[in-house]
Amino acid sequence: MLTGSIVALVTPFTEHGNVDYTALKQLVDWHVEQGSDGIVAMGTTGESATMSHDEHVNVVSAVCELADGRISVIAGNGSNATNEAVHLTERMAHLPLAGFLNVNPYYNKPSQRGIIEHYRACCAASDLPQLLYNVPGRTAADVLPEQVAELAEIDNIVGIKEATGDVARVAAIRQLCGNDFLLLSGDDPTSCEFLLQGGHGVISVTANVVPGLMKQMVSAALRGERAQAEQLDGQMSALHEAMFVQANPIPVKWALARMGKMEPNYRLPMTVPELPQQQHIEQTLQQAGLLSAESE
């Protein structure tokens, strides 16, 4: 499944910097229990940019095993080097995945032709569906609707995670790509309206801390129940803001640590939030009723 409420899962680490597979299991089980429709493993929120290829593949493999068919798993397979993205895709193609999430090549600033050829090479490495991932704030390149339409001509590109926050993209991409091309919001503060305008789902950072509430909001929006969806989204508005007071996934990992879901460990150059941000995140969690008496 590539629609609905999908969590952009964090990668928990031990104090020695290794992947904490015990905490990872607890997170996967929690998302299953809370009703999330899918998990993205090793995306931006999973700190994929700091992971070796072996670690990357091992985490995705572990999430697939832990999910055990109870929830869809999407694997991040992007890189700024096409040969690396192809290599990752080939290594994960045998796994029981719903598909891949392929971020636009970052840092290099390739031409439009270079972007097309990059995705064509990645798609040739596996028959599994692939989602484009447009996040200009990370990649320094904005894939415009007209470019999405050209990329959609590649057989197994089936949709896009659109993280610009521009809700008008829903209508623009749909007009160019048709109703079957999947539109997923990658911007939590605007995700409710994105869905109400015709989006098919979200790939969410906030869903890491309130997966059940996010699922309820997404379901209401997909049913076209605007008042209910907006009411539920309003309950998350402060969390949406708090999860981005510093670069993702710094705030969300701190939040999960305060909630007792994992330890607050990062891969450099990511570090714990600054004290004012720590306090802001904790206050937001308290107001949302997400901190137990022990954690407070």
Cβ neighbours of residue 280 under 8 Å, at least 6 residues apart? 242, 245
Q: Using CA atoms, how far apart are residues 167 and 147, in angstroms rounded to an integer?
A: 17
Closest by alpha carbon to 12, among 274, 270, 264, 294? 264
What is the dihedral sign for C-alpha 236, 237, 241, 244? Answer: positive
Which of 133, 215, 253, 266 is flagged as catalytic? 133
Q: Binding residue per annotation — 203?
A: yes
133 is catalytic: yes
106 is catalytic: no
Q: What is the chain's percent helix, strand, coil content, to nearest 5?
A: 50, 15, 40
H-run or E-run covering 19: none
Which of 106, 119, 161, 266 is flagged as catalytic? 161
Closest by alpha carbon to 182, among 193, 172, 173, 191? 173
List residues bridging with 160 in a β-sheet. Answer: 132, 183
CA distances from 239 to 112, 124, 214, 264, 288 (A): 36, 39, 11, 18, 8
CA–centroid distance for 152 within its chain: 20
Q: Binding residue per annotation — 39?
A: no
Q: Round the CA-based radius of gyration of the chain to a whole number and report it.
A: 18
Structure tokens belonging to residue 226: 């605007």
Closest by alpha carbon to 5, among 264, 204, 265? 204
Catalytic positions are 133, 161
Binding residues for pyruvate: 45, 203
Binding residues: 45, 203
